[in-house]
Structure 1
Amino acid sequence: MIKLRQEKIRINKEMIIVSPEMIIVSPEMIKISQEMIEISQEMIMVSQKMIKISQEMIEISLEMIMVSQKMIKISQEMIEISQEMIMVSQKMIKINQEMIKISQEMIKISQEMIVISEDMIEISQEMIIVSQEMFKINQEMIKINQEMIKINQEMIKISQEMIMVNQ
């Protein structure tokens, strides 16, 4: 019975020694969690900027497609005129065919830019989702750390009470 009491006192003393260390570590963990939240928020901002840039790129690409389509239309009209003007037509047809090729290349490039822009939007949206998940996890970590502090404080109280009872 005496050995049991001595063992309880020894355990309580060790808990009193360990509990303050846990209280010291818990605010550090909260600080780290808050920093992670800040990083997550910055990632969300960066992702939103990337989405905005991607949307602007899509707008530019669409404008380029419209310009290219107008160029093709103009080129086709010029080919019709050149057929009527047989003397000049051979040279003009060559020039216009080159313009059509350039315009078609521009359409291809514009379409590729749209695909790239859409991919960037998807990546940005996924980054926002990841950032939001990290933010939630960090909030949960803060809650857990706060609970640990409460538990540690309770353990200290219990240990002190047990020491007083044992004395």
Structure 2
Amino acid sequence: MNWTARAVAIAALVFCGLAGWEAARLPAWSAFDGPGPGLVPQILVVLIAVAALGVLVAPGHGEPEGGAESPLRSRGFLGYGGAMLGVALALPHLGFIVSGGLATLLVMRVAEGVAWPAAMFWAVILVGAVTLLFGTALGVPFPPGPAERMLAPLGVLRLG
């Protein structure tokens, strides 16, 4: 397990090097428009590299969670996979707020087994925080969905 984890961490660092090289070519910030197309990739490269370094330092030991069983039999894997696929398909039509909220509900209920009230609470908190951070504070344009069209005239976010 240690060598497998270290090999994955090394592969992640190689990926980060290549992705960081490409992301560095994109502007991270513009004085006129705010965040540029390179901001999120540059942040993600740093976060992935830090995580990979953490795995190199402390790779862990033992069997992976779930043992040798196929990930397709795992509710967690299916919940997260379904949420990612659902967001990819729904985002252009429903916008971020609706598709992100539904994906969070799916992950919390199916993958994590959280009760409905807590799942709804965390969906509202997560989507609200992302909307306020990126839509309001950073001025990132959101894909136009029904909720975004209601919030755009209030100045909470702008449409892309």
TM-score, length basis structure 1: 0.31
Larger Rg: 1
Higher relative contact order (CA 8 A, sep 6+): 1
